[in-house]
């Protein structure tokens, strides 16, 4: 988008006048003069879930991860659900506690297909995340908390049993990295930050938002 010529000239004059005073002052004046004419960049949802009821189904595929991090499944599902809600990206999301209850009460739940789980909860779509890797240290002997996680994500229609997203692949691989943080010395907090951060990254595939709304230094990237 081109600036109107008078506004462009005014911005250039103001920028020239304030540069000797320091970069911060220059940036402030440029933001106030040019900012209103520059459209904010947006991230567009890759799949529109607006109004759709959603089941977030997380499966931990590595038994070692499930044993070492028993909260990972719940924290990941919570991160996805909370991000969808914060961005008003979907209709109602099945509460995490309801999914946990179904896993306990239905002896065959672990063997159900993704579509069958969606039918059980009577939802429009299932957001299925398979957690393949999750660690909070580069090696067991390390004293540095540095997390990494990855999950394969897809959307499935309970009505047809077909995958509706992504279209040209079996799933979308989403990764998350939690860098060492001087403020986070507890393994449990680091685990929570990594799991919910990965959940946020997964959910944002289905959210439309301004890029400026995202933190400059996120806990998880």
Give pLDDT, residue 20.
Answer: 52
- The first and second tokens of residue 115, run together, are 């579509």
Q: Residues in the chain, how many?
A: 221
Give pLDDT, residue 107.
Answer: 94
Mean pLDDT across 96-114: 97
Q: Where are the domains of the chain?
A: 5-39, 54-213
Asked if residue 172 lies in contact with residue 153, where contact means CB atoms within 8 angstroms, the answer is yes
User: For 21-73, what is each residue's pLDDT tens digit?
Assistant: 455 565 555 555 555 555 678 889 999 999 999 999 999 999 999 999 999 99
Q: What distance in Å separates the CA atoms of residue 197 and residue 192, rounded to the nearest whole number?
A: 8
In words, the CATH class of domain 54-213 is alpha beta
Least confident of 6-10, 16-20, 93-97, 176-180: 6-10
Asked if residue 13 lies in contact with residue 30, where contact means CB atoms within 8 angstroms, the answer is no
Asked if residue 63 lies in contact with residue 133, where contact means CB atoms within 8 angstroms, the answer is no
Is the pTM higher than 0.85? The answer reads: no
């Amino acid at each position: 988008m081109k600036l109107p010529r008078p506004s462009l000239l005014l911005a250039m004059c103001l920028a020239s006048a304030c540069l000797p005073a320091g970069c911060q002052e220059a940036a402030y004046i440029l933001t106030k003069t040019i900012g209103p004419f520059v459209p904010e960049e947006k991230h567009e949802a890759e799949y529109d879930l607006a109004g759709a009821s959603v089941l977030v189904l997380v499966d931990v595929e590595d038994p070692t991860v499930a044993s070492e991090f028993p909260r990972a499944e719940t924290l990941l599902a919570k991160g996805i659900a909370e991000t969808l809600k914060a961005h008003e990206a979907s209709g109602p999301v099945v509460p995490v506690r309801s999914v946990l209850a179904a896993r306990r009460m239905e002896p065959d739940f672990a063997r159900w297909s993704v579509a069958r789980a969606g039918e059980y909860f009577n939802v429009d779509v299932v957001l299925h995340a398979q957690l393949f890797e999750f660690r909070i240290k580069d090696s067991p002997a390390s004293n540095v908390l540095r997390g990494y996680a990855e999950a394969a994500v897809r959307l499935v229609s309970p009505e047809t049993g077909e995958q509706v997203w992504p279209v040209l692949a079996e799933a979308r691989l989403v990764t998350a990295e939690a860098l060492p943080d001087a403020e986070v010395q507890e393994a449990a907090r680091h685990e929570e930050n990594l799991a919910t951060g990965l959940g946020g990254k997964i959910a944002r595939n289905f959210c439309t938002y301004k890029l400026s709304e995202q933190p400059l230094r996120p806990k998880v990237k």
